[in-house]
């Protein structure tokens, strides 16, 4: 039970705090990326080379690597086409940040190849989560506006819960990919011992943004459930 603090809904305060954490996390990942983008790796290899070496080391010769051409931090792995897409600074960069991001995306390719359970679960949730994120606001607004149609709020909460579940499942997927990335970089000798801390900072900062956004979503879901329960009583 959340009680008002100085006349302000305590849950609302928690959500605002979570938003503050999310903003800080986003600034933190940007700062760490920019900081370690200026630190060149001792091996002087590019993100493209790192990605290709790790893929080949794991027998993933059929996974393609493409230059996405988009802005920083837009890098991703597409399981539908088995393609690792790297933004320009990562693709051609040889900084600590470039190596960390490239290895992380390849970590997802390895997950896909090995049938990592949480990645399979997340992939199965994609259509449900997309539907939930699009339709939940419509049902929620309609339920709150039109009296006698409170059941629409329940449907909206259910749809929103599906989107929240997707975010929760994303957390272990991202953390696991980062762990794989660092292990590959170290075991293959592509980074020096004094560079491991920088790799960890880049990867951890990125993971924190997922944690913060998930926290916001969970708190919003709890708030909707409490409001809905109050209306029904």
Catalytic residues: 105
Cβ burial, residue 225 (10 Å; 0-12/13-18/19+): middle
Phi/psi of residue 148, each to 5°? 90, -5
Sheet containing 76-78, strands listed edge to edge, beginning at the edge strand earlier in sequence: 64-67, 83-86, 76-78
DSSP characters over 77-101:
EETTTTEEEE-HHHHH--BHHHHHH
d(CA 70, CA 202): 19
- 195: tokens are 């560079």
Residues 6+ apart with CB under 8 A from 175: 207
- Element spanning 225, H or E: helix 196-232
The maximal CA–CA distance of the chain, rounded, in angstroms, is: 67
What is the distance between the alpha carbons of residues 198 and 221, in angstroms, rounded to a whole number?
35
The backbone torsions φ and ψ at residue 93, rounded to the nearest 5 degrees and listed phi first, read -80, 155
């Amino acid at each position: 039970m959340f009680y008002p603090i100085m006349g302000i809904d305590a849950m609302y305060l928690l959500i605002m705090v979570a938003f503050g954490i999310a903003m800080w996390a986003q600034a933190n990942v940007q700062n760490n990326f920019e900081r370690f983008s200026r630190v060149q790796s001792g091996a002087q290899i590019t993100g493209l080379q790192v990605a290709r070496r790790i893929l080949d080391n794991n027998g993933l010769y059929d996974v393609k690597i493409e230059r996405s051409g988009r802005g920083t931090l837009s890098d991703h792995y597409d399981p539908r086409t088995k393609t690792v897409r790297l933004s320009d600074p990562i693709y051609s960069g040889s900084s600590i940040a470039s190596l960390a991001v490239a290895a992380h995306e390849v970590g997802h390719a390895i997950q896909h190849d090995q049938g990592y359970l949480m990645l399979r679960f997340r992939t199965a949730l994609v259509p449900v989560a997309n539907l939930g994120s699009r339709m939940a606001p419509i049902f929620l607004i309609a339920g709150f506006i039109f009296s006698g149609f409170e059941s629409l709020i329940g449907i909206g909460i259910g749809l929103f819960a599906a989107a929240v579940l997707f975010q929760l499942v994303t957390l272990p997927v991202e953390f696991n990919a980062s762990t794989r990335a660092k292990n590959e970089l170290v075991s293959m000798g592509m980074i020096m011992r004094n560079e491991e801390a920088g790799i960890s900072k880049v990867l951890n900062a990125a993971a924190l943004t997922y944690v913060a956004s998930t926290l916001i979503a969970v708190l919003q879901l709890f708030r909707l459930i409490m409001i809905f329960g109050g209306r029904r009583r």
